[in-house]
Amino acid sequence: MKIVNFYKEKNREKGRDLKISDQKNKSGFVLFQNKIFIGVGIAVIILFLFFAAWSNFMKRPVSSNIEDYRYFEVKNGQSTYSIGKQLEKERFIRSALSFFITSKIEERGALQAGSYKLSPSMGTGEIVEKIRKGKVDAFSVTIPEGYRVLQIAKVLQEKGQVDVTKFIAAATGTEGTLFPDTYVFPYELEPSKIIKVFKDNFESRTEKLNLDLDQLILASIVEREAKDDTERAKIAAVYKNRADNNMLLQADPTVQYAKDTQTFLKKKNVDFTFWTAITKQDYLDLNSPFNSYKNKGYPPAPICNPGLRSIQAAISPEPNFDNLYFFHDRNQTIHFSKTYDEQMRAISEFGVSGM
């Protein structure tokens, strides 16, 4: 009996030892868990502080130069991140990611398309707010190749509320030198300053070409005649051949130019369609030094503002190309001829564009 009691007592002691050990294990595990939670919490706080510091730094202005202002265009449909990447590339901001986060979290709302006057001295938040509120400072305008002054005035009025009458008056004598390109102009910029930008661009693009007035006039005719680049040098050669042979150029665009000029002088506005097809009666009746069906040689001035490819074609017409006639058929394919009879036979066979 004493032996039995002895073993029971031993088992009870072992049980107490096991309970004590289990409690110690549980206590150790809880302590381990607490340490993990504390460690994770500290790591989160450190990451948050690091992110806050990074975000604050990245939102700071790139520069302290308050006089460094440039224009930046946000295009329709452009994503927030691509806007940020472009701003970062042009050194307006430090980080595209910071711009994205700021625009999505801190300054909620869609970014508005337009041209903005921005500076690297502006913070990211300031730039986001300006674009989000659509506080545009300028307008972007593309001048197509072959537009004349009157058409450019119309486009500027539509895009930037530029006064048509003042622009046309300021542009007197500049036909041919208002280089076709895409520009950004501040609102309310004086017409004379807009014209200076056009002309400066023209000078920059042509300064090494040794371009003379006859070549510029020829380029303006080529610009209105050619359907694609492959035709330009050949058309230039045809008109140069005719001028060199003391022939009438008989270029339809010169008559269109004269006709539209008369329309403008009668209407006193630019609200009409330019460069409409002419009739036989037009070139027979229209009295103008620009009517090349009546006056030999080149017109007295360019009839539009040509692009660089037409200028290059006028400077270097197609070599060894002795054709004197051309026309576009109903399919807009061009046909060249050396004689009037060849021209008439080709017209009879293929037909003429617009007829």
pLDDT in tens, 229-269: 999 999 999 999 999 999 999 999 999 999 999 999 999 99
How many Cβ atoms sit within 10 Å of the Cβ of residue 47? 10
* Contact (CB, 8 A) for 251 and 229: no
Instruction: Report how far apart, in Å, the C-alpha atoms of 260 and of each of 110, 148, 213, 256, 291 are.
Output: 44, 10, 22, 6, 12
* Contact (CB, 8 A) for 180 and 144: yes
* Contact (CB, 8 A) for 112 and 133: yes
Closest CA to 312 of 221, 211, 227, 231: 211
309-351, pLDDT tens digit by residue?
999 999 999 999 999 999 999 999 999 999 999 999 999 999 9
Closest CA to 351 of 337, 330, 333, 336: 330
pLDDT for 67 = 76
126-175, pLDDT tens digit by residue?
999 999 888 888 999 999 999 999 999 999 999 999 999 999 999 999 99
Asked if 162 and 258 sit in the same domain, the reply is no
| Mean residue pLDDT across the chain | 88
Residue 62 lies in a domain: no
Asked if 250 and 315 sit in the same domain, the reply is yes
Asked if 241 and 311 sit in the same domain, the reply is yes
73-104, pLDDT tens digit by residue?
999 889 999 999 999 999 898 889 888 888 88
The structure tokens 């930037």 sit at 160
Rounded mean pLDDT, 3-18 = 53
* Alpha carbon distance 77, 72 (integer Å): 15
Radius of gyration of the chain (CA): 38
pLDDT for 11 = 54
Asked if 101 and 122 sit in the same domain, the reply is yes
Residue 65 lies in a domain: no
pLDDT for 105 = 78
pLDDT for 148 = 98
Q: Give the dihedral of Cα atoms 57, 63, 66, 71; nearest 10 deg.
A: -100
The residue type at 22: D
How many Cβ atoms sit within 10 Å of the Cβ of residue 78? 13
Angle at 164 between CA 162 and CA 167, to 5 degrees: 80
- Name which residue leads in pLDDT, 15 or 181: 181
* Alpha carbon distance 23, 257 (integer Å): 102
CA 319, chain centre distance (Å): 35
pLDDT exceeds 90 at position 2? no
Binning pLDDT at 50, 70 and 90, where does residue 21 land? low
Binning pLDDT at 50, 70 and 90, where does residue 64 land? confident
Residue 152 lies in a domain: yes
Structural domain boundaries enclosing 195 = 139-206
Asked if 269 and 239 sit in the same domain, the reply is yes
**In total, how many domains does the chain have?**
4
194-225, pLDDT tens digit by residue?
999 999 999 999 999 999 999 999 999 999 99
* Alpha carbon distance 215, 217 (integer Å): 5
Q: What is the CATH number of the domain that holds 126?
A: 3.30.1490.480
Cite the DSSP H helix spans in the chain: 2-58, 80-89, 96-101, 124-132, 149-160, 164-170, 191-206, 213-225, 229-244, 252-267, 280-285, 308-315, 340-350
- Name which residue leads in pLDDT, 251 or 42: 251
Asked if 247 and 317 sit in the same domain, the reply is yes
Asked if 84 and 166 sit in the same domain, the reply is no
Asked if 223 and 314 sit in the same domain, the reply is yes
pLDDT for 102 = 86
Q: Work out whether strand 182-186 and strand 70-74 pair parallel, antiparallel, or are unpaired.
A: unpaired
> What is the H or E stretch that residue 335 is in?
strand 334-337
Residue 64 lies in a domain: no
* Alpha carbon distance 99, 96 (integer Å): 5
Q: Work out whether strand 325-328 and strand 334-337 pair parallel, antiparallel, or are unpaired.
A: antiparallel
Query: What is the percent of the chain with per-residue pLDDT over 90, rounded to a whole number?
Result: 67
Asked if 180 and 152 sit in the same domain, the reply is yes
